[in-house]
Amino acid sequence: MIRLVFILMLATSTAAAQSTGEAAIAAAERLALAGESLTAAASASDRVSALTETVKAYEDGLIAMRAGLRRAAIRQKTVEAELAAKSDEVGRLLGVLQTMGRAPTPLLLLHPSGPMGTARGGMMLADVAPAIQAEVTVLRGQLEEVALLRGLQETAAAKLQDGLDGAQTARAALSAAISNRSNLPLRFTEDPIQTALLLASTETLEAFAGGLTEAFIDGETPVDAMGQKGALTMPVQGQLLRAFDTPDAAGIRRPGVIVAARPRALVTAPAASTILFRGQLLDYGNVIILEPAADVLFVIAGLAEVFGEAGQVIPEGSPIGLLGGEVPSARAILTENGANSGGVASQTLYLEVREGQSPVNPADWFVLDAN
């Protein structure tokens, strides 16, 4: 009974390992599909939309590939450790099999004590043979599993590098397509001198936002995201690092949330909005301010590159920028561990929501736990 439970446990772990390998293979296929969509985007009628989806596809594929390879590496080490731990048992098993293989079959069936001993030996052999066969089957499965996982590791570098190169090409093409875009509605035309004077004369985000709306906004907003309140997705795929109004290590509180994301991650508009401002602002760094509804502002900071121009009305999901950082190489990804995880969620995005010039919890607008 104990042996049966042991064999069932090994079979279950082998099935889990097969799914681990399949996950990495599926991720590689997703990267290949992203490459095909990059080729198709060149002839798309809306290149910005097509390239946005392509960049997202690459990001999803690379995330899945990284996770699949990490699981495969962990599983490989686990199986190799199991094999090393029972090396003595495997050695004895091989010794028995070699002895049985060398001895002539008639001699194996004879016993020195005569017919009775021969009969007893035959009965014992009949009992032992299936157990030996079961051990051999388990051992063969583990060795095949290690070979499969090693093969995945060997071919992963090329797959990863292709994905990283494709993602970089897609980001560059997206940036160029946005620069050439001229079909967006324009709600107002920014006055650079007035904006510069406003920046120089204000010391807080609240004062700047108030002066901005007074300087440039005239009439009703052409978009209204109030109906989406509470259901918006975050502008970037990542993990919530600091909640609303939570102090950081230095004790500084900000009326927004901070999201940890991967280097060069694409940031998109959570709702159709008017771009009120883009550029350096106070100590927030590179900022874009969106107005998705009357008297509502989304302040998004931490971008290395910002897309769009002040006054444009952009659709939901429109790319508004890229995070900074250096994307790790394929080899760095393959060799990363807990202490060396370069590039994994190493960038941060700040999101602040203001209603009527007062900050509110972004959780009132966004589904924060969906990332």
77 and 198 share one domain: no
| Cross-strand bridge partners of residue 58 | none
So what's the pLDDT on residue 12? 37
**Phi and psi of 332, rounded to 5°?**
-65, -35
CA distances from 157 to 145, 161, 163, 164, 329 (A): 19, 6, 10, 10, 9
Q: How many CB atoms lie within 10 A of CB 228?
A: 17
> Within the chain, what is the greatest distance between any pair of CA atoms?
111
Domain match, 23 and 145 both: yes
pLDDT at 299 (0 to 100): 94
Same domain? 35 vs 94: yes
Whether residues 155 and 218 fall in one domain: no
156, 179, 202 - which closes a domain: 179
Report the first-to-last Cα separation within the chain, whole angstroms.
Answer: 45
Say whether both 205 and 164 belong to one domain. Answer: no
DSSP string, 51-95: HHHHHHHHHHHHHHHHHHHHHHHHHHHHHHHHHHHTHHHHHHHHH
Q: Which of 179, 202, 236 is the last residue of a domain?
A: 179
Quick check: is 334 in a domain?
yes
Residue 353 lies inside a defined structural domain of this protein? yes
The pLDDT, as a whole number, for residue 359 is 92
pLDDT > 70 fraction of the chain, expressed in percent and rounded: 72
128 plus 199 within the same structural domain = no
Q: 367 in the Ramachandran plot: left (φ > 0), alpha (ψ -120 to 50) or beta?
A: beta
Residues 111 and 26 in one domain: yes
Same domain, 96 and 147: yes
Please indicate, yes or no, if residue 187 is contained in any of the structural domains.
no
Residues 169 and 199 reside in one and the same domain: no
Are 336 and 239 part of one and the same domain? yes
CA atoms within 13 A on the CB side of 212: 29
pLDDT of residue 130: 65
Spatial distance between the Cα atoms of 300 and 278, rounded to a whole number of angstroms: 10
Would you write out the chain's pLDDT as a tens digit for each of its 371 residues?
333 333 333 333 444 444 666 777 788 888 888 888 888 887 777 889 999 999 999 998 888 888 877 777 777 777 777 777 766 666 665 665 556 555 454 544 544 555 555 555 555 555 555 666 666 676 666 666 666 666 666 777 788 888 899 999 999 999 999 988 878 898 888 888 888 888 888 888 888 877 877 776 666 778 899 999 999 999 999 999 999 988 877 888 889 999 999 999 999 999 999 999 999 988 888 999 999 998 899 999 999 999 999 999 999 999 999 999 888 877 777 776 544 444 577 899 999 999 987 899 999 999 987 44
Residue 186 in domain: no
Give the residue numbers spanning the domain of 21.
Answer: 2-179
Alpha-carbon distance values, 370 to 231, 256, 327, 367 (Å): 10, 17, 24, 6
pLDDT in the model for residue 13: 40
Domain count, the chain: 2
Query: 233 and 184 in contact (C-beta within 8 Å)?
Result: no
54 falls within a domain: yes
Closest CA to 348 of 230, 279, 267, 270: 267
DSSP state letters, 252-287: ---SSEEEEE-TT-EEE-SSSEEEEEEEE-TTS-EE
The reply to whether 184 falls in a domain is: no
- Same domain assignment for residues 58 and 27: yes
Secondary structure (3-state) at 313: strand
Burial status of residue 322 (CB atoms within 10 A of its CB: 0-12, 13-18, 19 or more)? buried
